[in-house]
């Protein structure tokens, strides 16, 4: 298996307005993008487990022309309200980095970055 962070060019999070938080997972090559997309690893149950949220909260979009996967959730705390810890929503993506992508069908280590 390979971690998502090793396959993606960029994993980021950001506000989408004060009430939504959005994650972008971006790839350099169609190979890596399709490997992740086809693996089925980016699914609501997996995300729910990694973020302590009900799976219904997650909306997942596969953007083939941008080689990107977008995930959006309602913000747990409205941006800037008492108790909000991340005004720009920029540091919420770390749990995505370790999602495991099975290597099946590809030579072992082929996509591994160092």
Q: Which stretch binds another protein (CB under 8 A): 22-30, 38-46, 105-113?
A: 22-30
Helix/strand/coil for 85:
coil
The residue written with tokens 């990694």 in the block is 50
Contact 37, 27 (CB under 8 A): no
Helix (H) or strand (E) holding 112: none
* 68 binds another protein, rule: CB under 8 A: yes
Q: How many residues bind another protein (CB under 8 A)?
A: 42
* 78 binds another protein, rule: CB under 8 A: yes
* 3 binds another protein, rule: CB under 8 A: no
* 112 binds another protein, rule: CB under 8 A: no
Closer to another protein by Cβ: residue 28 or 102: 28
What is the nearest approach in angstroms of another protein to the Cβ of residue 28? 8
* 59 binds another protein, rule: CB under 8 A: yes
């Amino acid at each position: 298996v390979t971690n998502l962070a090793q396959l993606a060019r960029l994993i980021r999070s950001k506000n989408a307005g004060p009430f939504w938080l959005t994650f972008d997972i971006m790839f350099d090559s169609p190979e890596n993008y399709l490997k992740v997309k086809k693996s089925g690893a980016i699914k609501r149950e997996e995300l729910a487990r990694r973020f302590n949220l009900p799976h219904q909260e997650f909306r997942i979009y596969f953007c083939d022309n941008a080689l990107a996967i977008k995930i959006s959730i309602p913000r747990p705390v409205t941006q800037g309200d008492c108790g909000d810890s991340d005004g720009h929503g920029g540091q919420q993506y770390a749990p995505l980095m370790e999602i495991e992508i099975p290597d099946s069908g590809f030579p072992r280590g082929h996509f591994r970055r160092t």
